[in-house]
Amino acid sequence: MNIRPLFQRVALVLGGLALSLYVIFLLSKNYEGQLQLQQTLQEKFRLETSSRATALGNFFGERLNNVKYLAESRELSIYFTNKALKMSMQYGLRSSLLAIQQRFEQVMEETSIQGKPVFDRLVFVSVDGQVLADAGGPRHDHRPRDWSTYQVKDRGGPRLLQGETDPQVTIVSPYWFKGAYVGELVAWVSLQRIAAHLVEHPHSALVHREAILRDPGGHLLLGHMDPPTVGQVVEGLAGQPPATVLSTVIPNREGGELPVVAMRTPIAGTPLSLLTIQPRVEVFGNQATVLLSVVSPGVVVTLAVMVVVRFWMRRRQIEAERTRTLAEAAATYRSIFESANDVIFVLDVDTGRVVDVNGQAMWQFGYTPDEVKVLGIEGLSARDADGRPMSAEGWIEHLRGGDSHLLEWRFKAKSGEVIWAEIGLREGVIGGERRMFAVAREIGGRKRAELELRKLNEELSARTEEARRMAVEAQAAAEAKSRFLATMSHEIRTPMNGVVGMAELLADTELSRRQRRFVDNVRRSADTLLTIINDVLDFSKMEADMIELDDAPFDLRELVDEVAELFAERSQRKGLELVCAVAPNVHTALRGDFGRLRQVFANLLGNAIKFTETGEVSLRVTCTEEDELQCLLSFEVRDTGIGIPVESQERIFDAFAQADGSTTRRHGGTGLGLAICKRLVHLLGGEIHVESSLGAGATFRFTARLLKETCVERTSAQILDALRTLRVLVVDDNATNRSILEEQLAAWGIAHASADGAASAFDWLREAEVSGRPFGLVLLDKEMPGMDGIDLARQIRLDVGVEQLPIVMLSSIWRDLDDGAMRALGICAYLTKPVRQSQLYNTLLRTMRTDHAVEPEPGMPRPAAHNALSPTATGQRILLVEDNPVSQELGREMLSSFGLRVDVAEDGAQALGALQADSYALVLMDCQMPVVDGFEATGRLRAAERTAGQGAHVPVIALTANALSGDREACLEAGMDDYLSKPFTMGQLAETLRRWLPFAPAGEAVSAQTSPEAMTRSEPEPQEPRLDPEALEAVRALQRPGAPDLVRKVVSLYLESAEKLILDLQKAAARRDAEALTSSAHSLKSASANVGATRLSALCRSLEMDSRAGRLDGAETRARAVVEEFRAVTHALGPSSASPTDRTEAIA
């Protein structure tokens, strides 16, 4: 048992001994190295000193060379040559002498060390002792010289003069000319300069003190040393071979001793030697002594032994502390082990034998710890599912398996009860033996809960699966339904096209009253059916999630006006007041799906009119919130109708639901409209709800979130500029109408006043006269109780001071006044309510700009307005591609009724053939056809056009009964230009054709050879007469007796202004300046209408419209047509006009 410490001690001593020996070995090597270093440093000192002496030798060698080259210089030679020619000093020789002097000075300057001349003096002494040239001398050398002592007169070269004790080295060089000695060149080199050079030499770290001695005696010539010290060193070196390094001691400045090394080295080629003395410590540094090298190992060994003893004692102390700590830890462990609430097993990790178990085993299993040790884990465990015994090997495998140290286990108690336990396994060491610790915790309650939970989960999964299956089935059923509905609607639309179109055509024919009633019923029924089909189709698309929103810029104000116009007639028929208003602060330039928005408006307004018998229906738009990019708009549709009971208000937004069955029967409808609205509003990012009570009307409010389109909005500044000076009087008995007009006027910054009837209006007119703030315009409602609008207008004309006041008549009914009557009343415009804001705005502007001639109402329907194409468009050839015979018949009839020539192709292949054979202005192309469908036919047509080049492009308009989303995109993608959904009305067809059949430009659609003249000829006779005699008659009616001829004056003024306008128009057309063209066409249009030149006015109007829309193709040709027409008008005005021929010629 005691062997280990003894062994440790012996090893420790042996280790210390080995370390000591190693240290001694290292120190001896160090000593040896120091001796070598000393020798090396001494050698280095010797070499350094020798190289210094060599450098000095080279230095003196260079100086000898300087003198040699000077003696060979051209200047000396020229001087002696000229002297030999006996030239006198005065005439020429002096300049030669001067050249020598300059040469000497040049050498003095050029040979320098660190900017200071090497030579103290350069002298040329002639043979007779005269100084011929002397550089440096006068400045530095004042000593009298006996020049004869410097004249060596031999044939040798330059050399150092021997035997001097001066701190200067003298170099002499005898000069011979043509074999005769003629003088001596003498040079002095300053030793001081050399000393400075030596001390400051950058490569000499070691050399510290130097002196130059005169050989052989050792006379000190140069150096900051005491002569006695030098003498002592020189004496010490005497008799030694050259390059011997002497170690000696010299007195230092404090009177002490300084160990030094010294060496004397001859300077080659000179009678000088270099003595170097340097403190020993500078040469060898601080080297350790031999004694230190011997003593050091002993000290090291002693220290090592002390460290070993200390280490051994410390180790014993640590061992005692560890034993005590272990005993305490064992006691603590036992205490915890026995007091644990879980059963803790300690097992042999290799055999699984139970080594120890705590007293808890007795409580849990009913066995004492000793019984447990005997039974082992196998005896304590229940059997597995297969009836096999379970042993501790399972635990060992689990512990080594790695993932988790937890497992569940079934024990069997002494009572036979099976106990579920969770066992935590850990591996550790006790008394140097590897053990496995198993802590078993009873988990019977938890196991039971788990079993129940698992059962519940299984049930839940089964139910979920069932629900999912049912949902899928339901979704499939819903989609199938939607698809069915969509397909059915599509199938219905095609025959509906025939029904609607034919009924429309039939209505335009001669019919008896009875027949007309039948036809009207057919048309109404078809309209109703179409509405229902559209709703069903829309709803089915929504159900099938096939609705996608468009994103396009639009003007909200125009949209609202458009919808208002759409419902104007219906509301008027029922005697309802329809009011539409967009709040002034609403940003109206927007982006979004305006079609869907219009659909919601139409639905709500349609319902409102449908369910209202008296009162008014209004649509108001306000802005709820906005930022830079978007705004949330609030729309309110209010009516004064029958209202909706509270209990029905929730249901009405559900599909197929209506307020109640009786109204369904009375008012009809699918009950899909509001459901569609609700879905559309959600798609538009808003909400919809209704406020109503039975009999008190209903208010539908919805919101929509729309993006702002900033670039197209008309600025209020422009409006302000135009209308700033205007003051308007509003006369209307309806307060809502008044307030809307007031709001609009206020928004444009127009001063205004309102009157609710004739009396109040006259009050305002008088006030204006008195205050000096006259009205510029009256907005007058036609239908008022008491004195109506017509009477009031007539009265105003009779009143003094305001006879000329322009009046704009507003009416809820179609215009029933002819132009003459209106002109007689001074009514300059007639607007049908609801008045579109843009319409009102334009009317105001026009009124301010023109001379108050009666303007036809913009956008006002006229008889057969739907089939009015431009005069030049009629007669053009159209190709209708359609497979359905009814649709063919319908299309042919409709197009013919527009005055167009129609060819029919039954499929795409026939159409391509026809297009190859003939030229057409436009193609109406059905999409779904046998053989070659519309998409493919269009694709081939476009390819052929590309191959042909020349920019040919026949407009192709798609006709499709398929109203599903994406159809339009497919048509455009195939190369078609526009899209018309079946069934379509004549109005829709005419509108579409108008877009693509403008004034046909030369060479494209009509005929390639069309010239301006041909074009004029080919135009069908316009409907309007050249001159409307009524216009001039109206003027004539204003003729006062005795006054100049008013008609003649008016005509003369017209011709004068028209000439200028026509010139402007021609220029603008030539420049393709759309703005100028619009302006001049507009002015000419109005002026021509005043004198009754209706045809010319119409030509100008169409030119104005097209140029305003940027369509400038053929503008010049059309301008020429205007000129032609103007010539004819001038001629027709004949007697009234002054020299018309001159004018037209000037214009042409």
**Site for other proteins contains 73 (CB under 8 A):** no
- State the nearest-atom distance from the C-beta of 182 to other proteins, in Å: 15
Cβ proximity to other proteins, 134 vs 215, nearer residue: 134
Kindly give the pairing relationship between strand 246-251 and strand 257-267. Answer: antiparallel
Judged by CB under 8 A, the stretch of 95-103, 303-311, 626-634, 1067-1075 that binds other proteins is: 95-103
Instruction: Out of 13, 19, 41, 99, point to the residue binding other proteins (CB under 8 A).
Output: 99
Q: Is 102 a binder of other proteins (CB under 8 A)? A: yes
Interface pick for other proteins out of 96, 358, 960, 1083 (rule CB under 8 A): 96
Q: Give least dist CB 176 to other proteins, A.
A: 17
Nearer to other proteins, 80 or 762 (CB): 80
Closer residue to other proteins, CB minimum distance, 78 or 529? 78
Phi, psi at residue 957, to the nearest 5°?
A: -110, 125
CB of 174 to other proteins, least distance (A): 22
Cis upstream peptide for 216 (omega within 30°) = yes
Q: Does 528 bind other proteins (CB under 8 A)?
A: no
90 near other proteins, rule: CB under 8 A = yes
- Please pick, from the candidates 9, 74, 469, 995, the single residue that binds other proteins as defined by CB under 8 A: 74
Q: Give least dist CB 57 to other proteins, A.
A: 37
Nearer Cβ to other proteins (70/793): 70
- Which amino acid type is present at position 392? A
- Residue 81 or 981 having the CB closest to other proteins: 81
**With binding defined as CB under 8 A, does residue 981 bind other proteins?**
no
User: Which residue, 10 or 98, has its beta carbon nearer to other proteins?
Assistant: 98
User: Cα–Cα distances in Å, from 13 out to 146, 354, 647?
Assistant: 90, 47, 110
How near is the Cβ of 87 to other proteins at its closest, in Å? Answer: 5
Residue 725 class from Cβ within 10 Å (0-12 exposed, 13-18 middle, 19+ buried)?
exposed
Which string of x and - marks every residue 19-58 that binds other proteins (by CB under 8 A)?
----------------------------------------
Which of these segments, 70-78, 189-197, 443-451, 856-864, binds other proteins (CB under 8 A)? Answer: 70-78
Under rule CB under 8 A, residue 95 binds other proteins: yes
Rg (CA), the chain: 64
Q: Does 87 bind other proteins (CB under 8 A)?
A: yes
Which C-beta is closer to other proteins: that of 86 or that of 665?
A: 86
- Rounded Cα–Cα distance for residues 887 and 928 (Å): 13
The verdict on whether omega for the bond into residue 983 sits within 30 degrees of 0, i.e. cis, is yes
- 88 binding other proteins? (CB under 8 A): yes
Q: How far is the CB of 81 from other proteins (least distance, A)?
A: 4
- Number of Cβ atoms within 10 Å of the Cβ of 424: 15
Q: Which CB sits closer to other proteins, 90 or 512?
A: 90
- Closer by beta carbon to other proteins, 132 or else 1074: 132
Q: Which is nearer to other proteins, 80 or 700 (CB)?
A: 80
Minimum distance of other proteins from residue 80's CB (angstroms): 10
Contact in structure between 343 and 440 (CB atoms under 8 Å): yes
**For residue 569, which phi and psi values (nearest 5 degrees)?**
-65, -45
Q: What are phi and psi of 965, to 5 degrees?
A: -60, 145
| Binding to other proteins in span 211-230, by CB under 8 A | none
Minimum CB–partner distance for residue 155 and other proteins (Å): 23
Query: Cβ of residue 189: shortest distance to other proteins, in angstroms?
Result: 27
Q: Which stretch binds other proteins (CB under 8 A): 98-106, 593-601, 1009-1017, 1063-1071?
A: 98-106
Tell the smallest beta-carbon distance from residue 94 to other proteins (Å). 6
**127: contact with other proteins by CB under 8 A:** no
Q: Which stretch binds other proteins (CB under 8 A): 87-95, 719-727, 959-967, 1115-1123?
A: 87-95
Task: Please report whether residue 155 would count as binding other proteins according to CB under 8 A.
Answer: no
670 forms part of the interface with other proteins (CB under 8 A): no
Check binding of 180 to other proteins (CB under 8 A).
no
475, two tokens: 């979704």
Q: How far, in Å, are 1054, 1058, 1082, 1096, 1122 from residue 1086 at the CA level? A: 10, 10, 6, 10, 14
Count CB-CB contacts under 10 A for residue 965. 12
- Whether residue 1093 contacts residue 1128, with contact meaning beta carbons closer than 8 Å, is answered with no
- Beta carbon nearer to other proteins, 135 or 680: 135
Question: In angstroms, what is the minimal distance from the CB of 70 to other proteins?
Answer: 17
Contact call for residue 107 and other proteins (CB under 8 A): no
SS3 726: coil
556 with 619: CB under 8 angstroms?
A: no
Nearest to 226 by CA among 191, 192, 275, 271: 275
Quick check: 131 binds other proteins (CB under 8 A)?
A: no
Is 238 a binding residue for other proteins by CB under 8 A? The answer is: no
What is the chain's percent helix, strand, coil content, to nearest 5? 50, 20, 30
Judged by CB under 8 A, the stretch of 89-97, 326-334, 602-610, 777-785 that binds other proteins is 89-97
Helix 74-84 and helix 94-110: axis angle, to 10°? 170
* Strands annotated E in 882-977: 901-905, 922-926, 956-960
94 contributes a contact to other proteins by CB under 8 A: yes
Checking 70-77 for CB contacts under 8 A at 24+ apart, the result is: 70/103, 70/104, 70/107, 70/122, 70/173, 70/185, 70/187, 71/158, 71/173, 71/175, 71/185, 73/100, 73/103, 75/99, 75/100, 75/102, 75/103, 76/100, 76/103, 76/124, 76/175, 77/177
Which residue, 88 or 332, is less far from other proteins as judged by CB? 88
Q: Is 86 among the residues that bind other proteins (CB under 8 A)?
A: yes
> Using the rule CB under 8 A, is 710 a contact of other proteins?
no
Compute the least distance from the CB of residue 118 to other proteins, in Å. Answer: 24
- Minimum distance from CB of 88 to other proteins (Å)? 5
Number of residues in contact with other proteins, rule: CB under 8 A? 19
The number of beta carbons lying within 10 Å of the beta carbon of residue 102 is 13
Taking the C-alpha atoms of residue 1094 and residue 1086, their distance in angstroms, rounded to an integer, is 10
Q: Which of 35, 47, 98, 294 binds other proteins (CB under 8 A)?
A: 98
CB of residue 111 to other proteins, shortest distance in Å: 20
Give the nearest distance from C-beta 132 to other proteins in angstroms: 14
**177 interacts with other proteins by CB under 8 A:** no
Sheet containing 978-981: order of strands: 901-905, 877-881, 922-926, 956-960, 978-981
Binding window for other proteins (CB under 8 A); candidates: 80-88, 306-314, 322-330, 536-544: 80-88
Q: Is residue 130 near other proteins by the rule CB under 8 A?
A: no
Contacts of 1134 (CB under 8 A, 6+ apart): 1140
* Residue at 1064: amino acid letter: D
**Pairwise CA distance, residues 352 & 377, whole Å:** 8
Binders of other proteins in range 291-320 (CB under 8 A): none
| Separation between Cα atoms, residue 579 and residue 638, nearest integer Å | 10
Q: Per rule CB under 8 A, is residue 232 in the interface with other proteins?
A: no
Q: At what angle do helices 1046-1071 and 1140-1147 cross, to 10 degrees?
A: 10
Angle between helices 594-610 and 556-573 (to 10 degrees): 20
Ranges assigned E (strand) in 672-797: 688-692, 698-708, 727-731, 751-755, 777-781
CA-based nearest residue to 728, from 854, 844, 582: 844
Which of 34, 38, 82, 368 is close enough to bind other proteins by CB under 8 A? 82
Rounded to the nearest 5 degrees, what angle is found at the Cα of 751, between the Cα atoms of 746 and 752? Answer: 85
Residue ranges that bind other proteins, judged by CB under 8 A: 74, 77-78, 81-82, 85-92, 94-96, 98-99, 102
